[in-house]
Amino acid sequence: MLKYSQPVDSKIGELIEKSSKHDDSDYTKDKIAMQLMGKLSDVFLDRNGKKRISIGLRLRWKIRYISDTYYDLKCAIRNHFKWHKTLKQIRPWEGHDGLIKVMITHLNDYIDSEEKYGHSEENFRRNKIAKARETVELLERMSDPDEYSRIRTKEVDSRYPDYKHLVSRYKGGGCGFSGRFIPQGNGWAGKEGGKNPREGYFELIDGRYQLVDSPDKNETDRILAEIDRYNEDTSKAYHQAEEDSIMVFDRLCELLKENLYSWWD
């Protein structure tokens, strides 16, 4: 068996085929010449206990060594081009992100190799490739953990108005934002962020937004109830995003457990 599944140089392939060709019928019970207890190399011991390895077998070993060396060199050169983008992005201090990049690159490489050179039974080969592709998709989702929450919260945002935030500039420099607000009359109805937030109808007074009596209390109450629903739906979205992440991780573990050792040829 060759070390790699890719086709070798035609001349080397012919030499290996000629030197290693045998008939399976040579390994039947009636063809046994001798039996003993020991190591495989003991088969080559002569009557005097000295090793006598045939020239043909030595030649096959030598050809296999040459072919393995050839592929080691070929893959080393090839990997510099295939992996350069991944290696360029990885940093020594990276944790999951670096590992995931390596796994994605290697699995894509495996899929490409299996599609071109795989020689397993067709349905089995297709199943291996399909499971490897699914694993790559899951790894790509896991490479950006915030993507789960972005997907879920984006769906929530699409069902509500484009809320504005209360932006505060500080004398010492810098700024911050908080809360959610909707225009109403000459001011804004909404709720501040942080601890003990104020809520109601706000108007700009002396450079600051202050709570004042609402021109339409029913409308203000409606806006506040809407903001509460938005906050509740957003909280549920983050919770669902966490569950999505756990489901993806569990499925990835299942795929690796069932297929890791079958992803070879």
pLDDT in tens, 86-97: 888 877 777 778
More confident residue, 176 or 43: 176
Distance CA 201, CA 189 (A): 4
Which of 35-39, 71-75, 141-145, 174-178 is predicted least confidently?
Answer: 35-39
Over residues 217-224, mean pLDDT: 96
Give me the sheet containing 199-205, strands edge to edge: 164-169, 175-184, 187-191, 199-205, 208-212
pLDDT band, residue 45 (cuts 50/70/90) = confident
Which of 28-37, 174-183, 224-233 is predicted least confidently?
Answer: 28-37
pLDDT(24) > 70: no
Tokens read off for 196: 């003990």
Q: Which of 169, 187, 165, 188 is nearest to 177 (CA)?
A: 165
Most confident listed range (115-124, 137-146, 241-250): 241-250
Mean of all residue pLDDT scores within the chain: 85
More confident residue, 42 or 214: 214
Would you kindly state where each structural domain of the chain is located, as residue ranges? Answer: 1-82, 154-245
Q: pLDDT value at position 2?
A: 39
The DSSP code for 165 is E
**What's 166-218 look like in SS3?**
EEEECCCCCEEEEEEEEEECCEEEEECCCCCCCEEEEEEECCEEEEECCCCHH
Q: Which of 122, 74, 70, 114 is nearest to 265 (CA)?
A: 114
pLDDT in tens, 3-14: 444 444 455 555
pTM score, whole prediction = 0.63
